[in-house]
Amino acid sequence: MKYGFFDDEAKEYVIQDPKTPFPWINYLGNDDFFSLISNTAGGYSFYKDAKFRRLNRYRYNNVPMDNGGRYFYINDGESIWSPGWKPVKTALEEYECRHGLSYTKIKGKKNNLSAEVTFFVPLGSWVEIQKMVLKNNGDQAKSFKLFSYNEWCLWNAEDDQNNLQRNLSTGEIEIKDSTIYHKTEYKERRNHFAFYHVNDSIDGYDTDRESFVGLYNELSSPEVVVSGEASNSEAHGWSPIASHYKEITLQPGEQKELIFLLGYVENEEDKKWESKGVINKEKSDQLIEKFNTVEKVDQAFKELAAYWDNLLSVISIDHDDDKLSRMVNIWNQYQCMVTFNMSRSASFFEVGIGRGMGFRDSNQDLIGFVHQVPEKARQRIIDIASTQFPDGSCYHQYQPLTKRGNDAIGGGFNDDPMWLILGTISYIKESGDFTILDEMVPFDNDPSLAQTLFDHLRISFDHVINNLGPNGLPLIGRADWNDCLNLNCFSNDPNESFQTTENNTEGSKAESLMIAGLFVVYGNDYVELCEVLGKEEEVERAKGHVAKMKEAVKQKGWDGEWFLRAYDFYGNKVGSDENEEGKIFIESQGWCSMAEIGLEEGLVKKSLDSVKERLDTPYGIVLNNPAFTEYKIEYGEISTYPKGYKENAGIFCHNNPWIMIAETKIGRGNQAWDYYKKISPAYLEDIQKLHKVEPYVYCQMIAGKDAYIPGEGKNSWLSGTAAWNFYAVVHYILGIQPDYYGLRVDPCIPSDWKEYTVNRKFRGSDYEITIKNPNQIEKGHVTLSVNGEEIVGNLIPFKQGRKYKVIATIS
């Protein structure tokens, strides 16, 4: 069953049934102000931080699902309905939701009246615009009553839900003309307020939730809407809301356009007040003035579209497979940008109060985004590195509002430091900007401890070699990439967090083969960077450590048919054929194979053959096999999940691309492509009801072969899956790779691909690269013709401001 379709020309996903298997959402905003919006207009907005600066109240995991949002109610005398179907759920004659690039259009039609609302956040402004178009499609005049609805969150989303003895007495609002202002705590500790405005006169308002909804009513039938008249309530404590009431009459064929603005303002401390108790509205007035007409809003919408056209023009492909084209050209890149902005903080699976920006997460997200706006990536790298400690370890997360490390999580995740090398090198190869390495970057946000970013990379590299276990492999610490493999936790208390509980690393023999492979991959990248910089002594030192690690993996990390996953606290093997459960894990097969450890001896091929035999399913590659069926205290959280879900033999889409990349290392393009299609959203259209989550973006997890419902998706949108799949398909399957000295062409493709073209903007030059595969092979020698001239090797040399027409022939 399908609930919608891709409109590739408009770059939209069109939903035609509001009762999707799970709320299908979109993100609005590109800088500091963001919104989440579902296909029925559920969700909320926030400034920078979804925990500390949330504008609207939202209730996760509620019944019914997806309650709370920016709602409009229409009482036309015959019925009460909402253009997005929810919250009223009156059957509509027509419904359509179009999720586009940083905007969403929702349209409903009932009783000859249509209502369409376009939601977007304009570039450079802290406001969500809601442009409503109401049209009388009948042959008689139509009179009806319109109510808007927004429930204010009292800023701190966590405190908002639990400190009711205080919060039910603190809510404060102001009303002036057609604008309702939310100013809770403004007079004491805050310099910010929010507002909800409509660009027309109103016939009434409500600012108290109980007065509007009715104490024992629900959002589906608010007392005020049912009665057909606003109560003009004013909130004093309790739960403040903002609702405009307007009586409208439309003649046959007539339409009316209204602009609603949900905005955020910060005032300087000495400019907070207009007069005693009256907030200074100068900045909000300016924001309202900026978008108070349809013409101004339409122009802002055009600017947003042009912004995205420019971002997506950096990399695009012409290919016979329209599903691949829509993923590479539109949806995968779009998700990469959203994930860069959000990290793992705010989705319909992440409530926005418990996690900030991840150290490892943000570095990985960067590889799918760096080509779009390199300067943003540059700043993110500096922000990330600033949360590192002088010994190379780092905070696992930091808060986006303060950019300081998150003490609640702390550090000790021993893979974290190496990801900084990935992020930095990806930025330099894309931008050509080596000056970032000379930036003075603090440790733990302490300027007195600042060293150059290059020093941070060296210290990151050394953190691994300074923390080796008895087998010469990296100690795992709290965890490596798999946060749920907690080899040092030993938790018996259900009130403890596996990740944050003080662990038993002292005397531990717990080592990670995943970090070992990671170290070899990015250790080699670090060596190459040092070679480019002419740091010969550091080159030789780093090479030696990388060689030792490769040897340690071959001697102590090989299990006969695949790579071990780890050694536990006691020094016992994890991910071995000797184990009863969890014999083989995906992470070490991916990273040790990408590192080409034992390539000549056939270890990589054996490892990947074992992945195919033991981990592959119709819906993707599971994380481990066999699934755990009992709690292993020495393994931690991974063994707590039911079999087939999440880290316990679920299909973790984030790590599937590691296997895709590894397959390209040994020239198996058919297999890499098969793995790609199994988890790529555009190829899952026919199983929308089973898959449940959005059919236009990747999710973190798909239920594995041991699960109750194999193929069911969870945790969509905010996942490193987006960046890694884009990286895998563009860099390693399509084969266009940024290099210090130009673009390298090294495809590994399905044998039935005959030809495709990649259009690439790179450091101010335009490249049109056509790859031809006349012999129908998966990988081979690449011959380049650049502007009609054959060149030696597969590196297209770089000169700024040029146009390059490249023919790359595989033979």
Structure tokens at 735: 């084969």
For residues 373 and 337, give the distance between their C-alpha atoms in angstroms, rounded to a whole number: 9
Axis-axis angle for helices 416-431, 359-366 (nearest 10): 20
Give the DSSP letter string of 74-140. EE-SS-EE-TTSTTT-PPPSEEEEEEETTEEEEEEEETTEEEEEEEE--TT-SEEEEEEEEEE-SSS
Give the DSSP letter string of 44-69. EEEES-TTTSEEE--BTT-SSSSB-B
In the block, tokens 């495809």 appear at 747
Half-sphere exposure of 78 (CA within 13 A, CB side): 9
CA–CA–CA angle 667, 670, 676 (5° rounding): 105
- The burial class, CB within 10 Å (0-12 / 13-18 / 19+), for 238 is middle
For residues 276 and 274, give the distance between their C-alpha atoms in angstroms, rounded to a whole number: 7
Q: Which of 571, 576, 579, 600 is nearest to 588 (CA)?
A: 576
- 21 contacts: CB under 8 Å, gap ≥ 6: 3, 688, 689, 691, 692, 693
Residue 483 known to be catalytic:
yes
Where do the H-state alpha helices sit in 580-705?
586-594, 603-614, 656-665, 669-679, 688-691
- On whether the CB atoms of residues 70 and 77 are closer than 8 A, the answer is no
> Residues in the chain, how many?
811
- On whether the CB atoms of residues 364 and 419 are closer than 8 A, the answer is yes
Half-sphere exposure of 385 (CA within 13 A, CB side): 30
- On whether the CB atoms of residues 566 and 575 are closer than 8 A, the answer is yes
Q: Which of 366, 359, 316 is nearest to 341 (CA)?
A: 366
For residues 276 and 357, give the distance between their C-alpha atoms in angstroms, rounded to a whole number: 39
The strand pair at 803-810 and 765-772 is best described as: parallel
For residues 231 and 204, give the distance between their C-alpha atoms in angstroms, rounded to a whole number: 7
For residues 107 and 702, give the distance between their C-alpha atoms in angstroms, rounded to a whole number: 31
For residues 583 and 573, give the distance between their C-alpha atoms in angstroms, rounded to a whole number: 10
For residues 402 and 387, give the distance between their C-alpha atoms in angstroms, rounded to a whole number: 11
Give the DSSP letter string of 24-49. -EEEE-SSSEEEEEETTSBEEEEES-
The neighbour count for residue 494, using CB atoms within 10 Å, is: 6
Structure tokens at 793: 């090797």
User: E-assigned strands of 276-314?
Assistant: 278-279
Active site residue: 49, 483, 616, 706, which one? 483
Where do the H-state alpha helices sit in 319-452?
322-326, 332-342, 359-366, 374-385, 416-431
Q: Give residue 141's identity as a one-letter amino acid code.
A: A
Structure tokens at 290: 């900026």
- On whether the CB atoms of residues 598 and 561 are closer than 8 A, the answer is no
How many angstroms from the chain centroid is the CA of residue 527? 30
CA–CA distances in Å: residue 168 to residues 57, 153, 164, 279, 724: 14, 12, 5, 21, 45
Catalytic residues: 483
